Structure 1
Amino acid sequence: MSTQTITAGTPHATSSPSPSSPSSPSSSRHARPHQRVTQLRVLRSEWTKLTSLRSTAWTLAAALAVTILLGVVLAKATASNWDHYTVEDKRTFDATATSLSGMYLAQLALGVLGVLMISGEYATGMIRATLGVVPRRLPVLWAKVAVFAAVSFTLMVVANLIAFTAGQAMLAPRHIDVALSDPGVVRAVLGTAFFVSAIGVLGLTLGTLLRSTPAAIGVLFGVLLVLPQLVGALPHNLARISDYLPSTSGDALMQVVPSSSLPSPTHGVLVLIAYLVVTLTAAAFVLVRRDV
C-alpha cells in the first residue's frame, strides 16, 4: 500500500527523507566539511580569545596609561628640579630613559595579562576544550605566544613613542631634551618595548608551568621585584650576578647614556632571549607530557 496521501490533488510524502534530502546526516556532512586544524586557525582562535575578554582591554589600557603618565611626570619633575642637580648628575642624565620610565609599571601589567592568558583557561576548565580541538597541544602554546607578543610589542612601541615625545616636551624648556633621531634613541624605544613584551611572554610561560594564577604572578613579581633586592644585598664581588636578571636587562635596553653599573644593550637582549628560550622549552615539555 502506498504511504502517500492525496490532498487537493497534490501528493505529500510521509515516508522517511531520502538520502539526498537536505536534512539527512549525509548532506549535513557535505554542507559542513571537517576543517583540518592548522596553525593559522589556532592563531585566529587565540586572537579571538584575547580580544574578546574585557580584562584584556583594561589591562592594555592601563599599560599604555602608566607608560605615558609616569614618563611625563618624571620628566616634568626633572625639569623643575634641574637647578638642584649636581654636576655629576647632570653629566650622567639620560633624557630618553627618564621619559621611558613608565616601563617599570607597564611590565607588571603585561606580565599579569600574560599569566591570565593561559591560567584563566585552567581556572575555568576551558583548556580541556582547547586541547581537545588541538590534541597536539604545542600549536596552542605557539599561537598564544605569537598573538600576545605581537599585541604587547605593538602597544608598547606606540606607548613609548607617545611617552618619549611628551617627556621631551617637558624637558625642552631646560634644553636637556633629545630628538628621536639622536644616536641610540630609537634603539631604546624599541628595546624597552621588547623588554616589556618579553616579560609578558615570561608570565605566559609561568602560567603554563604552574597552571595557577596566584602562583605564577607571585613567581613573576618575585623575579622582577624581590630578586633584584636580594642580589643587591650580596657582597660587592657577587654584584655582577645582577647583570643576568631580567630587570637589569630592561634597564640596559632603556639607557642611552652609558653607565658603568649596567651591561650593554646587546647583553640585555641576549639575557632576555635566554630566559624566554628556557621557560618556553620547559612550558612546551610540561604541556605535552602532563594531563590537563
Structure 2
Amino acid sequence: MTVIQVVRSEWTKIRSVASTMWTLSLAAVVTIALGMLISALSNHEFDNMGEKDRLFFDPTFISFAGMSLGELAMTVFGVLVVSNEYSTGMIRTSLAAVPQRGILLFSKIAVATGLALVVGTMTSFLAFFSGQSMLGSHRASIGDPHVLRAVIGGGLYMTLIAVFSMGVATMLRSSMLSLGILMPFFFLISNILGNVGATKKVGRFLPDQAGSKIMQVVAPINDKSPYGPWGGLGIMALWVLAVLAGGYALLKERDA
C-alpha cells in the first residue's frame, strides 16, 4: 500500500469508530461550557477580590478553565485511537496489510493529530470568545497583546495532549492500562508535584505543567518558571516526541 492509501485507511478507521468521534465532541463541549461557567463566576466575584488578585487577573486564562476536562477527553481520544485496534485484534490485519510498521504508526498519528488540531483550535477560539462574553467589563480582546498567542496555544496544547496519549497507548497497547497511568499522571501526580514547594522545580517541567503556560497572558504571582510560553510548549513537544519514539521502538521490535 502507498502512504496515501494508508492515510486514507487510518482516516476511515478513526471516523468509523463512534467512541473516538464522540470523545472529540465531548472535549469541545465541556471545555467551552465549564469555561463559560467559571468566567461568569469570576466576573461576579471580581469586586470581592483582593488588590493583588485583581492586578494579576488573567481573563484569557480564565476562559480556558474548562481545559482540564477537555484535556481528559483528549487523553481518552488519543488512547482509543491506538488501543481500539489492539482490543479488537484488528492490529494483526493492519500489520499484515502494511508490514512497514513505521508507516502504519505515523499515518495513524498524522491523521489523528490533524483531527485533534482542528477540534482543539476551534474549541480554544470558541472557549475564549464565549468566556469573554461572560466576563463583562473585565473581558480581554483577541487583539490585546499576547491574547492571540494564548488562544492559538490552547489549541496546540489540546493537540499535544492527544498525541502524547497516543504515544503512551502505543507503548502499552491497552486502553485500561494507558488510562490507568495517564489519568493519575495528569490529574493527580502532576498537580501535586507542580504545587508542592519541595517538588515545584521538577513539576514545572512535566508536559502539562510546561505546556499550559502557553495559555497564560498574565503570569501568576508566584511564577518562577525558567522558560516562557513558547519554551513551555517546546518542553511539552519534547515529551511528545519521546513517547512517540518509545512507541515506535516497541512496535518495531515486538509481535502484534
- What TM-score, normalized by structure 1, do the two folds share? 0.83
2:109 aligned partner: 145
1:184 aligned partner: 146
Distance in 1 between the 2:190 and 2:16 partners?
36
Distance in 2 between the 1:234 and 1:67 partners?
26
Does 1:247 find its partner at 2:211? no
- Structure 1: give runs of 5+ residues left out of the alignment: 1-36
1:258 to 219, 224, 249: 219
1:276 aligned partner: 240
Write out aligned runs for 1:173-212 (5 A).
Answer: 175-212=137-174
Deviation of the 1:220 alpha carbon = 1.1
Distance in 2 between the 1:72 and 1:187 partners?
20
SS of aligned partner of 1:81: helix
Distance in 1 between the 2:240 and 2:128 partners?
27
Q: CA contact under 8 A between 1:192 and 1:250: conserved in structure 2?
A: no
User: Residues 234 and 99 (structure 1 numbering): CA distance in 2 closer, same or farther, change over 3 Å?
Assistant: closer
Distance in 2 between the 1:64 and 1:229 partners?
23
Does 1:132 find its partner at 2:93? no
Deviations 1:190-215 (CA, angstroms, capped at 9, x unpaired):
11111111111111111110111111
1:91 to 27, 32, 55: 55
Q: Name the amino acid aligned to 1:83.
A: D
Distance in 1 between the 2:246 and 2:150 partners?
30
1:224 to 158, 175, 186: 186
Distance in 1 between the 2:13 and 2:170 partners?
16
Distance in 1 between the 2:177 and 2:50 partners?
44
Deviation of the 1:258 alpha carbon = 2.1
Deviations 1:83-129 (CA, angstroms, capped at 9, x unpaired):
11111110000000011122111111011111111111111100000
SS of aligned partner of 1:182: coil
Deviations 1:248-269 (CA, angstroms, capped at 9, x unpaired):
1233111001234244212211
**Bigger relative contact order, structure 1 or 2, given CA contacts below 8 A and separation 6+?**
2
User: Residues 67 and 229 (structure 1 numbering): CA distance in 2 closer, same or farther, change over 3 Å?
Assistant: closer
State the identity as a percent.
Answer: 34
Deviation of the 1:57 alpha carbon = 2.3
Distance in 1 between the 2:194 and 2:139 partners?
31
User: Residues 231 and 176 (structure 1 numbering): CA distance in 2 closer, same or farther, change over 3 Å?
Assistant: same
Distance in 2 between the 1:64 and 1:235 partners?
33
1:48 aligned partner: 12
User: Residues 176 and 235 (structure 1 numbering): CA distance in 2 closer, same or farther, change over 3 Å?
Assistant: closer
User: Residues 233 and 177 (structure 1 numbering): CA distance in 2 closer, same or farther, change over 3 Å?
Assistant: closer
Deviation of the 1:229 alpha carbon = 3.9
Deviation of the 1:232 alpha carbon = 4.4
2:28 aligned partner: 64
- What TM-score, normalized by structure 2, do the two folds share? 0.94
Q: CA contact under 8 A between 2:58 and 2:216: conserved in structure 1?
A: yes
Distance in 2 between the 1:92 and 1:218 partners?
36
Deviations 1:211-270 (CA, angstroms, capped at 9, x unpaired):
11111111111221222244247554x421112112212331110012342442122111
Q: CA contact under 8 A between 1:107 and 1:197: conserved in structure 2?
A: no
Distance in 2 between the 1:200 and 1:285 partners?
19
Q: Name the amino acid aligned to 1:247.
A: D
2:175 to 202, 213, 216: 213
Q: Name the amino acid aligned to 1:246.
A: P
Q: CA contact under 8 A between 2:28 and 2:120: conserved in structure 1?
A: yes
Q: Report the count of equivalent residues.
A: 253
| Greater than 4 Å deviation, 4+ residue runs | 232-235
